[in-house]
Structures are given as C-alpha cells and as structure tokens.
Structure 1
Amino acid sequence: MVVSDELEERLVSTCRTGFGDTLRSVILFTPDEWTLSYVRSDLRELEPALRDVKAEIVENERLGFTSQETYHSFAGEAPEGETLGAYRFTVRAFDHGYLCRVIVGEVGVVATTDEMNIDTFEDVATTLRKLIAD
C-alpha cells in the first residue's frame, strides 16, 4: 500500500476537485511501489494498456526523489536571496495535456490532465503537498 486508504481518497478528491473534468489519471508512488488510483471514466476501457504507460511514467517521475534532495541542498547552500527556495512541484507540458508531480518525503503523486489553464496546477499542488505532509 502506497498510502492509507483515507489519504488516497483525499488526494484523488483534491485532484478531481481542482482539475475538474480535465483530470485523466492520478498515480500515487513511493521509491518502491505505485498504484493507479484514478482513471477518468472515458479512459477506463484503456486501463490495461494505460498501466504499461503509467509504469514508465512512474519510473521517470521517481527520479524526482533524487532531484528533491538535490534542490533541497541547493536551497540550503545558496547565499541569502540567491536561492529559488524549496522545491514544490513539477509540471510537464505536452501537446495534448499536462503532467503534474508532487513529492513530499517518500510519497509522490502524479496527475495527468487534458489541456487546461496552467495556473490551476499551483493551487492543486499546494493542497496535495499539505495533505501528504500531514
């Protein structure tokens, strides 16, 4: 189990509320395991094929655990006012949608969406970070 059932439900609910009908999928992952927690209804018939694609996505997004450590050390070593601050989330833009990754500690969330206003990602990612941290 990647996270508790209650936390999984809250993370998926946050994504569904924040991204609305543009949300395609939600994946929860750790360095060792992952689960496809949500697939939009019009994509469910494709779920077996999606699992293979999602497995590749997770393998790539797991690199974020290492990146998070690197960014954290940069933030701590930079002179005052010369840092970007702490890592918060990643958004990847594609021709037909977006991928948003949030990592806190040993838990990550990936949400995929259709095309939409990119500003929405900050609100959703901030809430996901708070839920995972609690």
Structure 2
Amino acid sequence: MEEDSEIDPGLADELVSVCRTVVGDELRSITHFTEDTVGQVYLRSDLERTADLVGFAEHERMGFRSQSAYRNTQLGDYEATIRMFEQGFLTRVIQGGHGVWVTTDSMDINRFEELSAALKSVLGDADA
C-alpha cells in the first residue's frame, strides 16, 4: 500500500462536508483508503502531520476482509468500527472498495452512529 494524496476532489469535499456537519469542531482528521492507496483528506490545523498513514491503513484495511466474517450473524450487517484512545476516537467505515477513518475528540456515542451512516452513504455513492 502506498500513500497517495490523489482522491477524487468531489469525494474529498463531500467527506469533509459530511464530517464537519456531523462532528463539528471535534473533528481531528479524515483519511480515505482503498486496498492499494491511502491519503489524508483533512487534518485540523492545530494537529501535526506525524501519523503513519500507511501503518494505520495496513491495519484498517483488514476491515475489507473482516466484513465477510460478520455476515449472517444475529447482530445484523456490519456498519462501522469505533476505537477509543486516550485523547479521542477513530471511526472506520468501509463501503464497497472505499474506506475512511475519521479521528475525533471525545463526543457523544449517538454522533458516532450518525457519522457512520453519513459516511456509508458518501462511500456508496463513490462506488456507484
């Protein structure tokens, strides 16, 4: 996997718009990824560009395969993964051949559900 900042500008704008609308000032970063590429779409101005995007993406892209492990369970369809960290959260959503992870400051759990649904819609449109 390689770092690639070339994401469709329309998709990038839509991801930023959806995340800013749902998350507001708690939004830290947005990163888009596929099986082969990864690119940071947004980084809040008070944060440093020090994250190992390729390393994160190697871990998060396992979600492309793990979705099939959750098919036909009594839990229903896979929607998103939320990871809790000392200084915030990471939400990963995969739809078709696209994935995105969004990092945020702490926020109410209901907003994660809204964020996940909005991201699935944007990524679904990108796959069409």
TM-score range, shorter chain: 0.7 to 0.9
Cα distance in 2 between the residues matched to 1:10 and 1:18:
12
Partner SS state of residue 88, structure 1: coil
TM-score by length of 2: 0.87
- Post-superposition shift, 1:55? 2.3
For 1:34-73, what aligned pairs fall within 5 Å after superposition?
34-43=38-47, 46-47=48-49, 49-50=50-51, 52=52, 54-72=53-71
Tell me the residue number matched to 1:125. Answer: 116
Q: Contact 2:28–2:104 (CA<8 Å) still a contact in 1?
A: yes
- Identical aligned pairs, as a percentage? 43
Pick the structure with more helix per residue. 1
Cα distance in 2 between the residues matched to 1:118 and 1:95:
16
Q: Which runs of 5+ in 1 are unaligned?
A: none
Q: Contact 2:7–2:39 (CA<8 Å) still a contact in 1?
A: no
Which structure's CA Rg is the greater one?
1
Cα distance in 1 between the residues matched to 2:114 and 2:108:
12
Residues 82-130 of structure 1: CA distance to partner in whole angstroms, max 9, x if unpaired? x111111111111211000000011001000111112101001101101
TM-align CA RMSD: 1.5
- Post-superposition shift, 1:16? 1.4
Cα distance in 2 between the residues matched to 1:106 and 1:100:
17
Cα distance in 1 between the residues matched to 2:34 and 2:99:
6
Cα distance in 2 between the residues matched to 1:69 and 1:10:
27
Cα distance in 2 between the residues matched to 1:15 and 1:21:
10
Cα distance in 2 between the residues matched to 1:62 and 1:87:
15
Cα distance in 1 between the residues matched to 2:22 and 2:67:
24
Cα distance in 2 between the residues matched to 1:105 and 1:69:
12
The more displaced of 13-22 and 2-11 is 2-11
Residue 33 (structure 1) aligned with residue 37 (structure 2) = yes
Q: Which runs of 5+ in 2 are unaligned?
A: none
- Post-superposition shift, 1:3? 4.5
Partner SS state of residue 92, structure 2: strand
Cα distance in 2 between the residues matched to 1:59 and 1:15:
23
- Post-superposition shift, 1:21? 0.9
TM-score by length of 1: 0.84
Tell me the residue number matched to 1:93. Answer: 84
